Every structure is written in C-alpha cells, then in structure tokens.
A and B are shown apart, each in its own frame.
Chain A
Amino acid sequence: MSDRWVFWPRAASFVALLAVWQIGSLAVTSRNLPPPLDVLDVLWQRTLDGTIPYHIAVTLARVAVSFTIAMLIGTAIGIAMGRSRKLDRFFDSWLILFLNVPAVVSTILCYVWFGLVEPAAIAAVAVNKIPNVIVTLREGARALNPEFAEMAQVYRLGRAKTLRHVILPELYPFILAAARSGLALVWKIVLVVELLGRSNGVGFQIYSAFQNFAVDEILAYTIAFVAVIQVIEFAILRPLERRAAQWRR
C-alpha cells in the first residue's frame, strides 16, 4: 500500500478527534474541558518558558534508567528460567505474584522501605517491569533452536561467542517485543511514581495541576509527553526492528 493511503485516513481520523473535542468543549463550556486551541496555547507557553522541556527531561531520564535496569535484569532471569526447568518451577509462583502486584503498591512499599529518594523511585518502576520482561524472554529462551546450539558446540564457539552470535540474535525479536511493551508500561508507571513521591517530572506536574484543577495544563503535559514517547518509538525502536529483520526474505 502506498504511503498516501496510510497518511490520509490517519490525518482524517486525527482531525475528527480534534473536532469531537472542540464540539465537546463548546457544549460543556467549563474549565474542566478546555478547547484544543487553549490547550495548545498552554503547551506553547510552557514550552517557551522551559518548564515542559525540563520536566519531560527529568521524567525521560527516570524512564531511561529504570527501563535499562529492568531490561538487563529481566533478560538475564528470563533466559535462565527458560533454559532451566528447575529454576522455572521454583520461581514461577514468585513471577505470578510479582506480575500481579499493582504499580501503586510496589511504589508505596519502595518509598516506605527506602525513603522518598531517587533510587527508590527507580526501583519501584523496575520492579514493575522486570516480571513482564522475564515472561517474554523466558518464552524466547524456550524457543531457542537446539540445532544451532549443537552446531555451536561441535564447532567449539565457546560461551561468549555462542551467547553473542547465536543466542542473542535468536532472542532479538523477543528482546525488542519486551522493549516496546516495556517502554509503554514504564513511562506510565514513572508518572505514578513521580506523583506519589517526587518533586519534579511530568507526573509531579500533573499532580500539581490536579490540585489546581488546571485541566488545560494536564492535557498539555499529556500531549507533549505522548508526542515525545512516539518520537522515541519511531526514531529508535522501529529502526532497530527493521535492522533486526533485514536478513528475512
């Protein structure tokens, strides 16, 4: 399908959404649902005076750190559980428990145990994401082709070479899947964590706006942040995905 046929329906649906919003705000005529242009104005002002860029940068830094930690730990545990039945049987119930702990609970516990400090915030986000990474990578490790492992063994590739050139490339699609769903999950949890115990970042700003019933500000931050996340998705994750698939027919 040509780009034209992808672009125009999308553009139309976007315009339709704005129209619904505009009509809704005209019908309600309340501060609780400001029209799109008002929100855009707030977005513009807060961008110019630097507050939106600053808080988005702070939040993104938290996203980056906790995302990286969660991916590294989750990948390692996921591969181990996928390869070893004993480990898998032993830790499976833990995994189910952690998968079902609500983000709010782990966040509050982290703040209570470690104090209202940055590492506690990072840990709270990572703890929420790690189980999802484990589940995805465990699936990937189970799907590893034993024929390649045998080839690596006969030709004496050694552990490091086998991991780097045989196992990780096989797991790459699973790592990417975990990364994509991970990004979507992590940035939402980071907002919760900021709202509950940090004094900067998008989550904190939205909380402040909530206390002032400044819906225009909430919407402005939301739009700005969603836009940034989409840019990350398109500028980083999609190209990585294409690179991973280049050998496919």
Chain B
Amino acid sequence: MAAVTQLEIDVRSKRYPAVGQAPPVVALNELHFTASVGEFVCIVGPSGCGKTTLLNIIAGLDTDFTGNIVLPATAGRGRPVIGYVFQKPRLLPWRTVEENIRLVLSPAQNRTASVDELLAVMGLIEARHTYPERLSVGMARRVALVRAFAVEPDLLLMDEPFVSLDEETADRLRTLLLDIWSRRPTTVLFVTHDTREAAQLADRVILLTASPGSLRSIVGIDTPRPDRTNGAVVDAIRARIVQPANATTAELTRPR
C-alpha cells in the first residue's frame, strides 16, 4: 500500500440515539474535507455543533457513524499515531508530570532524550517530578501538549485546549504551541469556537454550521505567522473568516 499522504474526512452522518424523552440528535451531517501533511487546520463553529464529536470520530473513540476516515501515516510505522490534547488535560493524578508523559511513549521513544527537550521548550523541567494536582491550570495544559507531541504523532487533535484560561496565559500557550509545532511538524486539527484564535494559528480554517455541524466554508490563510502578532492583521484575517460571502459560496456548493 502506498504511503497515505493526507487526512481525509468523509462523515456522511453522525446521530445520537434518543435518550428517554429527548429526541435523537443529528450531530454531524455531510462533512467532507482533507488536510495535507504538516498542515495546521482550525475547525471553527458555535458550541454544540459537533466539533468534539468530530475529533472523537477521527481518534477512533466514536465508531458509531456513517462515512470514512483516512488518517495520515508515516511509512514504515504501521498504524498512524495520534496525539490528542483534550479540553481538560486528562493527566493521571497519581503519576508525576514526567511519568504521565513517559506512560504513552513506546520503549524506543522512552530511551531517547526527546522528552527532556520538550519539557525544556515548555518550561516544565522544574516541574517534571510534580504531581498534576499541584500544577497550575496553564502548566497542566502544557504537560498535555508535551504528551501529545512526545508520541511523534502523524496527526495531532486539539479540542479547545486553551479554553477557560486567562487571555495572557492562552496567548503564551499559543506561542509555545507554534514553537513546538515548528520543531516537530505534524498535521494538526485544532478545534475552537474563537475566530481570533483560529486567525492566529491556522493555515486553513474550516467553518462549521450550527447543529447539525456541516461544512459552511473553508478559508485559507497565507499571512506569515510572525505578522499575526499584530492585532490589526489578526482582525483582518478574522473578518475574512466570518464574512458572509464565505457562507454563501459554501451554501451553494454544500451537498444536500
């Protein structure tokens, strides 16, 4: 089999069955897109539009849907490796920072010094023997980032990883994320409801409609990232992301 080169998402439908009095819910409907290797894709949509559901489907946590997912893979490594930064860091409280990271690594990865390097980049060297409950919220998220990068993922899924942080911390983490991603390039699917965040990070933005989530528009961003520290530049990109024209074109091309 030829090496797969891109991520292919083809979700025809994802429904949640009726529970008690609540009617069944269509969470995702006719959502198709691709992402090339090393691309940073932001998925933006209002809350409840099925963004987390989409990530869970891609991660293989949710297999109850109709459609098909093709994951990017590195040749010669067998099954594709996924890194997932959940909304909550999901660190095991009974393991130290370093033990949490090393738990998910293969024996070969554990022998190399890459964990040290990642911890250093993220400013976590001092905290490596600390238990998660003693970490600040921002630090715990950095550990979750290190864990996701440490497995050398073919695909990195991120589910609003910087939500409910103060703006300053979130900004610093975004900078760290771009830094670490430039050292360890990988395909990223980054879910957010914040268009500003998407404007700062993405190569391409995929906008979803409200429930059920389906494709509203796709916006490519060419602006070099160093220029996006400027507020005015980011605002201009945001305007392009949310402009109604985008929505209309997508409405026209959206399969019904």
Seen from chain A, the residues whose Cβ lies within 8 Å of a Cβ on chain B are 147-148, 150-151, 153-157, 161, 165-166, 169, 172, 247-249
Chain B: interface residue total (CB-CB under 8 A): 24
Choose one: B59, B134, B151; the contact of A249 (CB below 8 Å).
B134
Contact B86 A247 (CB under 8 A): no
Residues of B within 8 Å of A165, CB to CB, are: 92, 95, 103
CB distance from B33 to the nearest CB of A (A): 21
Choose one: B83, B92, B134, B151; the contact of A148 (CB below 8 Å).
B92
Residues of A within 8 Å of B84, CB to CB, are: 151, 154-155
CA distance A148 to B91 in the complex (A): 8
Number of A-B contacts (CB under 8 A): 50
Tell me if B131 counts as interface (CB < 8 A to partner A).
yes
CB distance from B127 to the nearest CB of A (A): 14
CA distance A248 to B81 in the complex (A): 32
Tell me if B254 counts as interface (CB < 8 A to partner A).
no
Residue of A nearest to B147 (CB): A155
Contact B151 A151 (CB under 8 A): no
Contact A169 B104 (CB under 8 A): no
Tell me if B90 counts as interface (CB < 8 A to partner A).
yes
- Ordered nearest first, which 6 A-B pairs have the shortest CB separation? A155-B104, A247-B131, A154-B84, A169-B94, A151-B90, A249-B133
Question: Known interface pairs A154-B84, A249-B133. Does A169 touch B92 (Cβ–Cβ under 8 Å)?
Answer: yes
Tell me if B61 counts as interface (CB < 8 A to partner A).
yes
Residue of B nearest to A149 (CB): B61
Contact A248 B133 (CB under 8 A): yes
Contact A147 B88 (CB under 8 A): yes
Contact B61 A150 (CB under 8 A): yes
Residues of A within 8 Å of B95, CB to CB, are: 165, 169, 247
Residues of A within 8 Å of B132, CB to CB, are: 247
Tell me if B231 counts as interface (CB < 8 A to partner A).
no
From B61, B81, B82, B94, name the one whose CB has the most chain A CB atoms within 10 angstroms.
B94
